[in-house]
Chain A
Amino acid sequence: MREIAVVGSAQSACLAANRRDDMAGILLPVIREALSGIPLDRDRVDFVCSGSHDFHEGRTFAYIDSLDAVGAWPPIAESHVEMDAAWAFYEAWSWLQLGHGDIALVYGIGRGSLPRDLDQVVPTQLDPYYLTPLRPHRDAIAGIQACALLQSGVTTEHEMARIVARSLADAQANPHAQVAGEYEVDELLAAPYVAAPLRGHDVSPVGDAASVVVLAAGDVARSLCERPAWVRGIDHRMDGHYPGSRDLTRAPSANLAAARATATAGFAASEVDIAELHIEYSAQEPLLVRELGLGAATAINPSGGPLAGRPTTAAGLIRIAEAAKGIRSGGARRALAHATNGQALQQNLVCLLEGDPA
């Protein structure tokens, strides 16, 4: 395995709705910031990979517009996933393993605000014959999962509220957060349900933002970054689709991805200082803590996590960027980042990062 590290990142502020900028307009300043922060000349980037989704943009080939901000001239080696950009990160990491180049730039751009009503869009992510025609509310399957988690004792409504309160309090230190603030648990528990047992604040707020992460290999990474965040293990796995045939109190693909990442990393999730989890709903945090095997000493979502802002298809990549930032800043020795795709944690990615000993 080639040594690959995150050496830089940048993110635009997560907005409930950005009505000023088009795709390239959101992205260009973020790419500039990521590169200038290293600093790194754009010409030195050997590979570009991105993630976005047409169903959020409402048009086909939407990501083509974002390439206007990448600088694909002269022609570049480039790829794209129509999923969360954490999977683009994996592709870029695997590309660097080939040894054809040393530096890769990954970006995710999500504009969840463009669909006027997510209830029109989210059901299309399901089996088109059996499930989409039922048109479940956008949070319905998550509500069913949360209900199962409550009944099985994995979490409580009180714990869910504590998770929200902690996340939003932590988000006050995150300049990119969409929502933040100090809340009392009792105050949160008094709020009405949107998809019982989920209340409004249990649902991560969908919005618009772009995230950029720069990866570099070996000595190039060391030359670019005082404290590179080395990717020690990364893996992703898929579960079956039908919510009715899955045990929603489990996330076996998250468990498997963590085990696989651990095998190459040489350390387990229980040993990380911080964990950034792509939870779209508060009730998923206790489930992931169990599946990933996180310990009590680990700080979970110190950035505030997605409960403080979920730019669709960039939210997972932001977890990697935040976890790496914790290492690059010297605040953490080891970190875990998690990303998910689909309903009720159907598909999961786990990335274990480590800084050099001080």
Chain B
Amino acid sequence: MNKPLPEPVSLMPTPLRMEYTFVAGVGRSRFLRGLSERRLLAGTCPSCRHVYLPAPEFCARCLVELDEPIELDGRGVVSTFCVVSFPFPGQEIEPPYVVAYIQPHGADTRLMHLIREVDIAEVHIGMEVEPVWREGDDLEPSWMSIRHYRPVATEEVRHA
């Protein structure tokens, strides 16, 4: 009659495992293949003349297909940045480290990447940076073919 109540269930794990196939699409695939050959392929919108890096298949503003890809050397300036200063699960780099928006020369879009080989306190908006590529065997069709960006030599000289 007056049986004690059961212990409440407070936790009920339901682990889910899901696997997906991601499709990069035509424009992205071209760009990612370029990365595996140490080439940064940009695309120009024939309508608004903006240069996209990475180049999608079409301009999201004008909705027309981009022209044949052009190759950029990847150098650019730091447009803005943050310093990731704390550890979190799954982190692969030991903090602190700099994640920056980089404005590549010759492109109208910004890309996001790591800035390394420099004292964090030296990183500033407007700093000239260049990509540091992986070795030949490590190249892959992904952003990770660029290890990180670093200041270009002249910049290092100025701060010496």
Contacts and interface: CB of A to CB of B under 8 A. Distances in A.
B19 interface: yes
A76 to B, nearest CB: 12
A120 B12 CA distance: 18
A207 to B, nearest CB: 13
B160 interface: no
A115 B22 CA distance: 9
Contacts of A73: 60-61
Given A28-B58, A116-B21, A20 B14 contact: no
Interface residues of B, number: 21
B20 A58 contact: yes
A59 B19 CA distance: 11
Nearest to B61: A73
A128 interface: yes
Contact of B22 (A32, A58, A121): A58
A330 B26 CA distance: 38
Contacts of B28: 22
Determine chain B's interface SS by DSSP, over half rule: loop
Contacts of A28: 57-58, 63
Interface string A9-22: 00000000111111
Determine the interface band of chain A, counting residues with CB < 8 A from chain B.
20 to 34
Given A21-B25, A73-B61, A116 B12 contact: no
Nearest to B26: A25
Contacts of B56: 24, 68
A200 interface: no
Contact of A120 (B17, B25, B57): B17
Contacts of A111: 23
Given A68-B56, A69-B63, A132 B25 contact: no
Nearest to A65: B25
Contact of A115 (B20, B27, B58): B20
Nearest to A57: B20
B18 A18 contact: no
A120 B23 contact: no
A114 B12 contact: no
B157 interface: no
Interface in B1-28: 12, 14, 16-28
Contacts of A71: 60-61, 63
A266 B122 CA distance: 73
A183 B68 CA distance: 47
A21 B26 contact: yes
B20 A116 contact: yes
Contacts of B17: 120
A2 interface: no
B12 A133 contact: yes
A68 B56 CA distance: 10
Interface in A87-130: 111, 113-117, 120-121, 124, 128-129
Given A25-B57, A128-B14, A114 B25 contact: no
A132 B14 contact: yes
B24 A120 contact: no
A36 B19 CA distance: 38
B25 A115 contact: no
B63 A115 contact: no
The list of the 7 closest CB pairs from A to B, nearest first, reads: A22-B25, A58-B20, A68-B60, A116-B19, A25-B25, A120-B18, A73-B61
Interface of B: 12, 14, 16-28, 56-58, 60-61, 63
Interface of A: 17-25, 28, 32, 42, 57-59, 67-69, 71-73, 111, 113-117, 120-121, 124, 128-129, 132-133
Given A20-B23, A24-B58, 12 more contacts: A17-B21, A21-B25, A23-B25, A68-B56, A68-B60, A71-B60, A71-B63, A114-B23, A115-B19, A116-B19, A116-B20, A132-B14
